[in-house]
């Protein structure tokens, strides 16, 4: 077991948050998560105050926990859209979203709707196959 030192404590907190985030998102991907965690859920797992967790992540990574969470969630969503034939509504529910909110969330990050993204990916694959 490593000794906690004040100079590495913020990095340990961030590393623990990132580990717990990946565990939670894997559960979401597998359909095992009942709800999407919030910062307070992660803070509770780490036995620290939510504000301390948020401030520490901002200090170390120069972005918010929400930024990290949403970026990873988008990576999962894009993978599911590109690599499954499930409906967009089904993928949205799988990721604990209401389908209309998922469309807004996705478009805010990608600039296109999930359906447009799926068409773009399929067309890109078809072009790559022809080349």
- Domains delineated in the chain: 9-130 (1.10.10.60)
Q: What is the mean pLDDT of the chain?
A: 91
pLDDT of residue 130: 59
What would the two tokens of residue 51 be? 């504000």
Give the span between the Cα atoms of 75 and 46, in whole angstroms: 25
Name the nearest CA neighbour of 64 among 74, 75, 72, 56. Answer: 56
More confident: 15 or 6:
15
Q: What value does the CA radius of gyration of the chain take, rounded to a whole number of Å?
A: 18
Q: Nearest 10 degrees: CA dihedral of 13, 25, 27, 90?
A: 160
Predicted structure pTM score: 0.82
**pLDDT for residue 125 is more than 70:** yes
């Amino acid at each position: 077991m490593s000794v906690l030192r004040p100079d590495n404590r913020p990095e340990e907190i961030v590393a623990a948050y990132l580990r717990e985030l990946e565990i939670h998102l894997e559960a979401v991907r597998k359909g095992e998560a009942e709800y999407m965690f919030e910062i307070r859920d992660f803070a509770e797992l780490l036995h620290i105050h939510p504000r301390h967790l948020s401030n520490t992540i901002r200090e170390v990574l120069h972005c918010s926990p929400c930024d990290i969470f949403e970026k990873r969630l988008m990576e999962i969503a894009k993978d599911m859209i590109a690599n499954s034939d499930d409906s967009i509504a089904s993928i949205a529910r799988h990721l604990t979203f209401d389908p209309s909110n998922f469309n807004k969330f996705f478009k805010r990050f990608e600039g296109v709707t999930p359906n447009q993204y799926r068409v773009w990916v399929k067309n890109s694959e078809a072009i790559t196959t022809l080349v």
